[in-house]
Structure 1
Amino acid sequence: RAIYEKWGNAYGSATAIRNDKPFDTSGLDASMFGVQIIYPKELGLSAARNGVDFSSLFLSLGFFIILSAVLLMLVPLSEMMYVRRNEIALFSALGYPKKRITGILWRESAPVVLVSSLIGIVVGLLYTWLILVLLGSLWKGATHTGGFVLFPNVDSILTGFVAGIVISLVLLRVAIVRALRNHALNRKIRNNPICRKLCVAFAFTLATIFSVYWAAANAISLFVVAGVLLIITAACWGNYVVSHRGAAQSGPFHIPKLIWANLYANKKRVLLSFFTLTVGVFIVFSVGLNRRGFTDNAQLASGTGGYSLWCESSVPMYHNIATQAGRDKLALSDLPENTRVIQIARYSADDASCLNLNKVSQPTVLGVDMDLLKTADFEMERSMYPIGESVFEAVQTATDSIYPVLIDETVLMWGLMLNLGDTISYENGTGKKVYLQLAGTLKSSIFQGNVLMDKRLFSEIWNEITGSEIALFKVNEQETEKTKRLLEQALNEYGVRVTTTAQRLKEFNSVTDAYLNIFLTLGGLGLLLGIMSFIIVVRKDFVSRREQISLLHSLGFTHKRIEKLLVKENRIVPLCAIVTGVLGSLTGVVSGLLNVSVWIWLTTLLLTALLIVCVIGLVRFKI
């Protein structure tokens, strides 16, 4: 009785339960008592292992580098076959079959391929080490950490080594067989019907137009495919023009006809040089044009919604800043009269922005007034709702206990690696599971890393969260800095951090810029391979045409006129390659051209002009 009176309460008097038989606890679960068991180590390791993987991007860009290297390898092969034509003829006269001649020439190339592959492994490891050093220092914005150490994967190295050797030897074998076949035909140029080349050019033109239309209607990423198709289309039209204007035909002799005839006679080398240089220009300009500007407010509107300041507090604010009474309570009476405010509730979870490269399963959820968000300048990328239906209104209604939410497009693709319509599970305040459905995506915005849901639906799930930890302020540009200082002083007790929305957006894109720098170095390598290919073609062409030059001298052509002829002839291909590469890159990034800053446009124009001047000077110097 004394114990009952001393220890009893409204819930009962028992302080323990004893039984002579063991209890069966198999049906009990920690969640029944509101307890959530988390294994931090396992979650951390899983997040690190399944983090954002950029290997596919590096492989896709590396494909163009490999293509440029292969084309560069094939460029001097035809010249080698021409120089050794007498040796090949001697082998044939001695009774060597074509297969044996092919084997001799092919085995000669094997040591070169082997040594080059070994050197490539060493250079690749050095390049990777250099990238890691830069990621920990100059490009630290991509990872926000340092201390990277290179751990070479033997399996990956062997795979790349073997694949490189196999690809090189197979392509060399095919090229040698085709070269010997042409030699057996006494180097007779096969005159494929002009109409066939014209039909192929028209077919690729239609394919390019269709790909642009399809990309605009369905997937913006397909614009890159359209850019590649544009390069192929330009090559097909170039093949047709060279064949049409350079083929043997009756009529008076003139210099332009001789230029086109020379291009037609060396059409294979011309096309190889064109593709190699075009691919390099395409990569460099595509990467450069993907950079975004952060100074033009018109360009920032879709990412900031037109709001100027992002205010984030450690302690929730329970007063409505949109009202005068709320401003008085928070000592914000001096805010400009035309200030617009959106206060946002937050359920803290994981950061799914590009600043966190680990795998995220539950992003932070923000409760936003969708009616206010609708009036802002944020732009939708895509949604699961029918065309014409307002997404901001549709996400205000839950169906079958599934709550629709919005998310940043980059977070959906790279952070969560999910698709529209997928769901993410959370637990509410009572431990009950709820599901948030990814119903739409925003273009790159200041909400990156968070899930947005209607504030009313947010309160249904987490009714214990009543204050707001985030607020957006829209003021005139001239009053931005003054308002920022006022917020930092007045809300100091709330642990507030105030940044401009432009700065926040720039921090998110610092990761993109860092990787663009890496891709730009690879693109520069591709452009270097293209320039080397062009130099080899010009030099080899000049050496192989000494007899033709002597013939022109004997026909009365002056040295100056011959030099002018060669300069004009060798300028056509690189200039067309530069123009095609630039146009292809513009097509590949057409969806984001409006976001390219003026300085990037000026840099692009200057780089194009510099390439053209370098080509003109290089041709004249080599000739």
Structure 2
Amino acid sequence: MTFGRLLLRGFQHYRGLHAAVLGGVLLTAAILSGALVVGDSVKESLRRNAAARLSKATSALVGGERFFTETLAGPVSGEVGSAVPLLHLEGTVSTRGGEARANRVQIVGVREDFWVLSEAGSAPAALTGGDWIAVNDILEARLGLQVGDRIVVRLEKPGALSKDAPLSGDSEATVPIAGAVTGVVDAGHFGRYGLRVEQVPPGTVFVPLAKLQALLDKPGKANVLLSTASAPDLQAAVEKSWTLDDAGLRISTGEADHASEIPQAGHVAPRWGNTPRLVGDRVFLDAAVQQKAVTLAGSDAAQPTLTYLVNTLRSGGRETPYSLVAATGPVANAIVPKDLGPGEIMVTQWLAEDLQVAAGGEVSLTYYTMGLGRQMREETAVFKVRDIVPMDAPDIDRSWTPDFPGLFDVEDMDGWEPGIPIDKSRVRPKDEKYWDDYRTTPKAFLSLEGGRRLWANRFGDATGVRFVPGPGHEPAALARALREQLTLNELALPVRALAAEARAGVADSFDFGQLFAYMSFFLIVAALLLTGLVFVFGVEQRAPQIGLLLAVGWRGSQVRRLFLTEAVLLAIVGATLGLGAGWVYTKLALWGMSGAWRSAASGIAFTYQAHPVSLLVAWVLSVALALGVVWFASRAATRIRPGQLIASGLDVPVPREAPPWLRSKAAWSGVLSLLAGVGCLVAPKTPGTMAEQGLFFGSGFLFTIAGLCGVGLVLRLIARKAGKSLTMGSLARRQSARRPGRSLAVVSLMASGVFLVTAINAFRLDGSRGAERRDSGTGGFAFVGESTLPIYEDLNLPANREKLGIPDASQAPWKVVAFRVSSGDDASCLNLNRAQRPRLMGVASSKLVQLGSFAFAGTAPVAAGASPWSLLQAPLEPTGEGRTVIPGIVDLNTATYALKKGLGDEISYEDASGTPYQVRIVGLLQTSLLQGSLIIEEEAFIRQHPAAGGYRFFLLDQADRDAATQTAATLTRQLGDRGLEMAPAARRLDEFNAVQNVYLSIFSTLGGLGVLLGTVGLGIVVGRNVLERRGELALMGAVGFTRQSLNALIVREHWMLHLAGVVIGIAAAIIAVLPKLNGGASGLPLGLLAVIDGGILLAGVVLCLLAARTALRGEMIRALREG
């Protein structure tokens, strides 16, 4: 008979065994391929989300709080073919009457060409004309809107500069858009538009660009330019096309700007001067712009200026209220002498007469400076009068003063709203007359050094640059020269590679394929165990055949090749069929993540996607694992003597009594494990911490080992002890001890599987446990809040609370720790994409040091007794020439999984001028509600991002939790227009915790199925044991035992082992999850665990019974004769 014919006959004759092996391989391949395809599907779903978010756009010029001209799109389009301007801001949306409100909503002003970038290629039918309001389908679902419903959109009106800046105007400048919803924009029409690399689509309101421009007093302005070109091409096109208007800069003379201005009757003709000057829409000039302007003209032909509003000019007993004072050097003016010292002042004739001061006298200046949280500090400086400047001097004009909000466009002083307290009762008729005649003309002049010492701030130290008139210094020539010197990064107008960011976010996203493969560990092991057991069982049944082949001259290697060939064919077919069965696994997993497990991947509409590489990897692994298992089984069989195989099959060695040292070792191991477990239980622990969970889990694990050691000793003891009775119970016990190693393996498999599947839930996180403690994930704070629009005031100051309508809380004092927030991607576990620009937050760390909030998982070296938060204030040495390095603290989960960083690693950012800097991780927080952001010192934050005004993240600290609920409700109500939403800190923490808890549920489910499948292996072991003892069982039948009693004996014998393993596993697991049980089992999936553990127990009984009945079928007399 040829090798091939023997192979085919073997498949036919042992088709039942081969079908079982095939099923084991199929199951292994299904689990592996299904798990990997889950990862493919999640990535594909993220990719489709990103595609919907960007549609045809691939890059963008993003101004943020800086606005360029809408007309820039024209020349850029001529260069790259597509450039679409829009206004992109954030606001709140409420239904009419305020029944429902959505915060952090995108407000986007678009032109008709915006819709061309959509997949549909045209605007939705309802959005025609110039007066419509549309919402995307996300916001429609969130607020339950329908076409025709009236909504109110509220957003902040962008000012000339940040509301944190001095003289920035009113901080409450919000504007509403009210109207009926005209249409709903779906994903096909670019309804999912967004710039953040996040999977949850933002809610969006679309309005015509011109309408939004008019509402915000930004005619012809945009702050985003979308393009279908690559980022380098867009960068080159914008660099070639931009003008000073796009940078918010202009160089002109005052007379030219105001040539059409007609003097009012009875007033002095307005004087603006003919000196060329550089001014900006943002009032204070960026350092790069100022330096380049001075450099291109030369320090002898250009001079920075700094103008400021002072509260009082005082000399002797006389004072002048609310006056503008300019600081400059001797260049480009005839007012300030070259040797004017920093302690000297030039006063105008008008002021000298008002104060009755002469040269050599003293004048004091009282003025406000803006601190953090818009805290006003009134300061005073004294100067010596150098000289008096006549009012008709050539350079006494209005051109010194920039367009301060609330000053430059008002008719009289009664209309002043400069953003600082103004006591209008101090204003005299002569002050009003000066305003009517001279407007913003300064009343005094300081040296530039003297002025900067008083008024320089993080937004700049110059409000303009004046140029000496002359050839080459015409405004147009200066503008051309300055434009050539400046770059987009220096103007804080970066070009972003949106498509590349999206691809990187998806490519580096959390790998759900690996996660499900790891969590399916028990299932894979169980499937391989079944494959191996079935194959070994088959080898034992075919032992006479093996012996015969060896006896007739086959070599052992040939026999192994026969079995391996069978195995290879079975593995190939089983793995191939398993790839198809993996579809079911993937679909069930995606269904679970869309339902019960949706917290692990919120905001995603899952799409099934199987990549060939994943299927190939699963196929190869499945075949290799299956072949590895069967190789070991066939290798053992061919080592036995042919005669023995022919006569009786595989030898069953008689168990030898364990040596005393081994019994002693097992006993001591059990005792030591028991003592160590008790030690973990009684060790001091802080409730609700990871350390507590780890100690209880370790205790349960040690008790599992102790229990298994105890079972092993009992089995050895039973085997040694002579039986005194012949009851069914004693027979079952002695038979279970007949093969102690095999019996202990069954108990160990069940105990370890049940323990791990159940006890892993000890690591479930519950934000409410210990939430009042400072070292908990809430930091001891009662509520956490985020606002859509910045809140500029310090909410801890009584004056600000009164201004905002927040009642006094003297009976239940509270305070707020506020964070500044930069725009960026959410880097928490709630965002499956890899954050490309992680959000940055700035906080006054001294407040957290004082409170001792949050626990750290690791820090850089810190002084003994010092808080790790103090590391944010410690200066760091740059690690490279010219580099700026800032210390930062981040949540451990964010660093590990989202950023893939550790202590000492650095993350790159760019400041307002496009200059890169690094944030070095010096501290890792344990699980906390600060997930998703890097935290740096507030002073460092405003130094790098001066334009990011106000606070947008808040932690409310109030000991009385009931009072805290009322305080949070008041804050939400009073600051609702700014989109503030307060939530219990424990609930916010649980939103993050839900991700880990879902992973544990997935592990429990898949692991439980694996252990359940492993009980099938128990049935195979039962069948194998029965077949080995068929002669013995036949003899028992011959002496009077019925078949039913033999069945009962076999079930009892093996189910005792199964029950022992399950009981040990459950008992140890109860110890591991004891903290959860003490808390009322909050968060424990008791129903799931009961079904899993109960199913394992029931499956053990059923499978033992089926295996016994199957093995005892047939003629027992023949078994007696053969035995």
TM-score by length of 2: 0.48
Is contact 1:289-1:593 (8 Å) kept?
no
**C-alpha separation in 1, matches of 2:795 and 2:923:** 29
Q: For 2:540, what is the secondary structure of its paired residue?
A: helix
Is contact 1:114-1:165 (8 Å) kept?
yes
Q: Tell me which residue corresponds to 2:653.
A: 188
More strand by share: 2
Q: Tell me which residue corresponds to 2:1032.
A: 548
Match of 2:794 among 292, 316, 320: 320
Q: Tell me which residue corresponds to 2:855.
A: 379
**C-alpha separation in 1, matches of 2:1025 and 2:914:** 77
Give the letter for the 1:469 counterpart. R
Q: Tell me which residue corresponds to 1:161.
A: 619
> How far 1:538 moved relative to its partner?
2.9
| Alpha-carbon spacing, 1:209–1:150, altered in 2? closer, same or farther (3 Å) | farther
1:202-241 to 2 correspondences below 5 Å: 237=709, 241=713
1:412 and 2:889 aligned: no
Q: Aligned pair count?
A: 614
1:600 and 2:1084 aligned: yes
Moved more, 123-132 or 52-61: 52-61
1:495 and 2:955 aligned: no
Match of 2:507 among 49, 55, 58: 49
1:341-360 to 2 correspondences below 5 Å: 341-360=816-835
Q: Tell me which residue corresponds to 1:447.
A: 930
> How far 1:412 moved relative to its partner?
0.4
Q: Tell me which residue corresponds to 1:529.
A: 1013
Moved more, 443-452 or 411-420: 443-452
Q: For 2:604, what is the secondary structure of its paired residue?
A: coil
| Alpha-carbon spacing, 1:439–1:143, altered in 2? closer, same or farther (3 Å) | same
Give the letter for the 2:855 counterpart. E
Give the letter for the 1:355 counterpart. L
1:411-490 to 2 correspondences below 5 Å: 411-465=894-948, 467-475=950-958, 476-490=960-974
> How far 1:264 moved relative to its partner?
5.3
**C-alpha separation in 2, matches of 1:361 and 1:238:** 54
Give the letter for the 1:398 counterpart. P
Is contact 1:346-1:364 (8 Å) kept?
yes
| Alpha-carbon spacing, 1:399–1:324, altered in 2? closer, same or farther (3 Å) | same
Q: For 2:987, what is the secondary structure of its paired residue?
A: helix
CA RMSD of aligned residues (A): 4.5
Is contact 2:655-2:738 (8 Å) kept?
no
| Alpha-carbon spacing, 1:62–1:102, altered in 2? closer, same or farther (3 Å) | same
> How far 1:422 moved relative to its partner?
0.9
> How far 1:552 moved relative to its partner?
3.4
Q: Tell me which residue corresponds to 2:522.
A: 64
Give the letter for the 2:804 counterpart. L
| Alpha-carbon spacing, 1:377–1:617, altered in 2? closer, same or farther (3 Å) | farther
Give the letter for the 1:176 counterpart. S
**C-alpha separation in 1, matches of 2:697 and 2:765:** 21
**C-alpha separation in 1, matches of 2:696 and 2:640:** 36
Is contact 2:767-2:777 (8 Å) kept?
no
| Alpha-carbon spacing, 1:299–1:333, altered in 2? closer, same or farther (3 Å) | closer
Give the letter for the 1:445 counterpart. S
Q: Tell me which residue corresponds to 2:870.
A: 393
Match of 1:402 among 871, 882, 885: 885
Q: For 2:537, what is the secondary structure of its paired residue?
A: helix
Match of 1:11 among 466, 483, 494: 466
**C-alpha separation in 1, matches of 2:785 and 2:528:** 53
Q: Tell me which residue corresponds to 2:779.
A: 305
| Alpha-carbon spacing, 1:141–1:14, altered in 2? closer, same or farther (3 Å) | farther
Moved more, 232-241 or 410-419: 232-241
**C-alpha separation in 2, matches of 1:412 and 1:85:** 57
Give the letter for the 1:458 counterpart. F
Moved more, 609-618 or 277-286: 609-618
Match of 1:90 among 539, 548, 557: 548
1:611-622 to 2 correspondences below 5 Å: 614=1098, 617-618=1101-1102, 622=1106
Moved more, 83-92 or 366-375: 83-92
**C-alpha separation in 2, matches of 1:222 and 1:481:** 33
**C-alpha separation in 2, matches of 1:583 and 1:444:** 29
Is contact 1:293-1:596 (8 Å) kept?
no
| Alpha-carbon spacing, 1:235–1:534, altered in 2? closer, same or farther (3 Å) | farther
**C-alpha separation in 1, matches of 2:1069 and 2:1032:** 38
Q: For 2:1025, what is the secondary structure of its paired residue?
A: helix
**C-alpha separation in 2, matches of 1:372 and 1:23:** 44
Give the letter for the 2:787 counterpart. S
Moved more, 149-158 or 518-527: 518-527
Match of 1:123 among 567, 581, 587: 581
Is contact 1:446-1:501 (8 Å) kept?
yes
More helix by share: 1
> How far 1:202 moved relative to its partner?
8.8
Deviations 1:582-615 (A, max 9, x none): 5776899899999994452855885687357536
Match of 2:988 among 504, 518, 534: 504
Is contact 2:845-2:870 (8 Å) kept?
yes
Q: For 2:475, what is the secondary structure of its paired residue?
A: coil
Deviations 1:478-528 (A, max 9, x none): 345433332222112222222222232222233334444443442233122
| Alpha-carbon spacing, 1:51–1:593, altered in 2? closer, same or farther (3 Å) | farther
TM-score by length of 1: 0.82
> How far 1:417 moved relative to its partner?
0.5
Deviations 1:354-379 (A, max 9, x none): 12111224322222232332315422
Deviations 1:80-102 (A, max 9, x none): 33333333343344343333333
Gaps in structure 2 of 5+ consecutive residues: 1-251, 257-273, 278-464, 468-472, 645-649, 878-883, 1109-1123
Give the letter for the 2:786 counterpart. E
**C-alpha separation in 2, matches of 1:231 and 1:358:** 41
**C-alpha separation in 1, matches of 2:618 and 2:509:** 23
Q: For 1:519, what is the secondary structure of its paired residue?
A: helix
| Alpha-carbon spacing, 1:445–1:232, altered in 2? closer, same or farther (3 Å) | closer
**C-alpha separation in 2, matches of 1:78 and 1:248:** 29
| Alpha-carbon spacing, 1:121–1:298, altered in 2? closer, same or farther (3 Å) | same
Q: Tell me which residue corresponds to 2:757.
A: 284
Is contact 2:1076-2:1084 (8 Å) kept?
no
| Alpha-carbon spacing, 1:580–1:406, altered in 2? closer, same or farther (3 Å) | farther
Deviations 1:35-85 (A, max 9, x none): 433222222222222222244333333343322211122223443333333
> How far 1:454 moved relative to its partner?
2.8
Gaps in structure 1 of 5+ consecutive residues: none
> How far 1:279 moved relative to its partner?
5.7
| Alpha-carbon spacing, 1:132–1:223, altered in 2? closer, same or farther (3 Å) | farther
| Alpha-carbon spacing, 1:358–1:203, altered in 2? closer, same or farther (3 Å) | farther
Is contact 1:76-1:537 (8 Å) kept?
no
| Alpha-carbon spacing, 1:163–1:619, altered in 2? closer, same or farther (3 Å) | closer
Instruction: Give the structure, 1 or 2, with the largest relative contact order (CA under 8 Å, sep 6 or more).
Output: 1
| Alpha-carbon spacing, 1:243–1:478, altered in 2? closer, same or farther (3 Å) | closer
**C-alpha separation in 1, matches of 2:876 and 2:607:** 49
Give the letter for the 2:938 counterpart. K
| Alpha-carbon spacing, 1:245–1:120, altered in 2? closer, same or farther (3 Å) | farther
